[in-house]
Structure 1
Amino acid sequence: MPALWMLLACIFFAIMAAVIKVLALKISVIEILFYRGGLNLLFISIVMKLGGISFKTQVPRMHILRSTYGAIAMYCGFYALANLPLGTASTLTYTHPIFQTIISLLTEPKSVHWFLIIAVLLGFGGCVILLNPQFSTDSTSAALIGVLSGLFTALAYARVGRLVRGGEPELRIIFYFALVTTVLSFMITQLTGGFTELAIQDLFWILALGTFGTLGQVTLTRAYGRANPIVVGSLAYSQIIFSLILGYWFFSEAISNSIIFGIGLIIASGVLVLFKRVKS
């Protein structure tokens, strides 16, 4: 079941990424982050209220730490997308399973099986071939920020699992993440010139951003709260496939032989992870 939740998260986040691509032509990255967090906060607050889930937590520091890591990761990822070629930025974002493996090796070495390490490396290799990243000396700082996105994503995901296994409701975890993201992005936007005036049609894209972002966050939190983080992290590579499908259908992006080969490596990565789950 965690594998299914992760695949659903990949679909929702792939759609959200396409929406971000449209919005980035009109508003700044930090504004996108604010709308993403603000709508997420609104949706989750309503669901929690209707479901009778308390907003109060016994581990506020852990929530703040997880949420801060997540907000930094999201901003770094958006920054990389805005300042690097799409393939390069996406590849750097998908370094997070590598960092998750390193974190697990340092904190829980018994949980890391060689099958999982191979799956992570295989999937990342598929991303590299699929996205064909290219660097220039002028983009070094943006590339480093993209790597930081992978690092902070791994740190955030590790704490999601701890919070869920510690008894925290998944919606409460998402609520605090959305709250911290919204507050931080609002403050930064105000300090950097304020918000861009929106047209009526922009509201549709912002609503789509919040809807698919929230759905992705809910399914991702369930996945990481119910399985080994390296297992679901490896399956996260499948988002690339969904993004390619959307790119082909809506942006007329061609699919070459190298792309097909990269997809094959990503699928092989997922098969290895699932095989290890069945054998465990």
Structure 2
Amino acid sequence: MQANTTSRTDKLGSGWMVMAALFFALMGGLVKKAGQDFDFGFYELVFWRTVFAVVLLGALAWMRRERFATPHWGAHLSRGVAGTLGVLLFFYGITHLPLATAVTLNYTSALFLALLSWLFLKEKIAPTMWLALLLGFAGIVVLLRPTFAAGQEWAGLIGLAAGLCAGWAYLQVRELAQLGEPGWRVVFYFSVVATLISAVLATWDGWQPLSWQSAPYVLGIGATATIAQLCLTRAYKVGRKLVVAALSYLTVVFSTLVGVWWLGDAIHWQEVVGMGIIIASGIWGAARR
């Protein structure tokens, strides 16, 4: 009853996902600019993205007197490692591919989630859902053709692997939800694991010193990512699930605009077609589910 009341009183409703998509796109742009202009490695960019969430979520949970203890440490660790790998590969893709291409490849997580649910959870996939999956993977082939033609096969495959790891992480998030873990704790412990792993890798790879010029970028990465996550959570709480799922693909559209107008990315027509196919398959799959 309370959730329905909240949905009626929140005028933005599903529109929170539009805000989330915008801030996720801005985060991607900041990641790419920080890598290009200040030579930050993707390890330390992941660190700055996640340490912000650790501090903010930890402080909010402490002020609300939430319980940090959990009986599911192993599940949190497994989800944290899978999610961290996904973010590391995603940030690698952002720093080596056009922003829109990297973001679209990361959004293949919905396709991989369906396949992983079928393989490991033995969930049935309807014939129409199989068609949506085949359409989505056809879109991946179209999207990656210009990338492969430009000799960026490795970056393209890593970007696709980011989508696979994200799908695997989402599968584990679903299992944690079924165990009764609150959403804030899932995000918090993922951020803790990601911060620790990325800190170790960045120390091994070498840190770039912060300056007055670079600090706004790394702080902006953490701030935009956290705001986007909060908007996304709000959207799924008060919005219509199908509408929210469809609007989430605006991240690809906003990332394309950010990439072309701010970062100077060149987008091939085949990449635009591939993005459109992947978006259509994702929305179709969400509708069928």
Structure 1 length as normaliser, TM-score?
0.79
Percent same amino acid at aligned positions? 33
Map of 1:204 onto structure 2: 216
The answer to whether structure 1 residue 159 and structure 2 residue 144 are counterparts is no
1:235-270 CA-partner distances (Å, limit 9, x unpaired): 654421121233355446678876765565456445
CA 1:140–1:183: 2 relative to 1, 3 Å: same
Please, what is the CA RMSD of the aligned residues?
3.8
Q: Which range moved further: 175-184 or 93-102?
A: 93-102
Match of 1:51 among 26, 51, 64: 64
Contact 2:104-2:275 at 8 Å conserved across structures: no
CA 1:268–1:159: 2 relative to 1, 3 Å: same
Map of 1:12 onto structure 2: 23
Runs of 5+ unmatched residues, structure 1: none
The answer to whether structure 1 residue 216 and structure 2 residue 228 are counterparts is yes
CA 1:9–1:69: 2 relative to 1, 3 Å: farther
Q: Distance in 1 between matches of 2:101 and 2:220?
A: 25
Contact 2:90-2:162 at 8 Å conserved across structures: yes
Contact 1:101-1:117 at 8 Å conserved across structures: no
Runs of 5+ unmatched residues, structure 2: 1-6, 8-12
Contact 1:123-1:237 at 8 Å conserved across structures: no
1:88-145 CA-partner distances (Å, limit 9, x unpaired): 5445433322321211212344453333343444455556656764216964444443
Written as runs of structure 1 = structure 2, the 5 A alignment for 1:209-248 is: 209-218=221-230, 236-248=248-260
Map of 2:184 onto structure 1: 171
Q: Distance in 2 between matches of 1:238 and 1:130?
A: 17
The alpha-carbon deviation at position 209 of structure 1 amounts to: 0.6
CA 1:232–1:111: 2 relative to 1, 3 Å: farther
Contact 2:143-2:274 at 8 Å conserved across structures: yes
Map of 2:10 onto structure 1: none
Q: Which range moved further: 202-211 or 35-44?
A: 202-211
Map of 2:162 onto structure 1: 149
Map of 2:81 onto structure 1: 68
Q: Distance in 2 between matches of 1:129 and 1:169?
A: 39
Map of 2:45 onto structure 1: 32
CA 1:12–1:111: 2 relative to 1, 3 Å: farther
Q: Which range moved further: 45-54 or 141-150?
A: 141-150
Map of 2:126 onto structure 1: 113
Match of 1:181 among 178, 191, 194: 194
The alpha-carbon deviation at position 14 of structure 1 amounts to: 1.4
Q: Which range moved further: 243-252 or 142-151?
A: 243-252
CA 1:108–1:236: 2 relative to 1, 3 Å: farther
The alpha-carbon deviation at position 181 of structure 1 amounts to: 0.9
CA 1:266–1:84: 2 relative to 1, 3 Å: closer
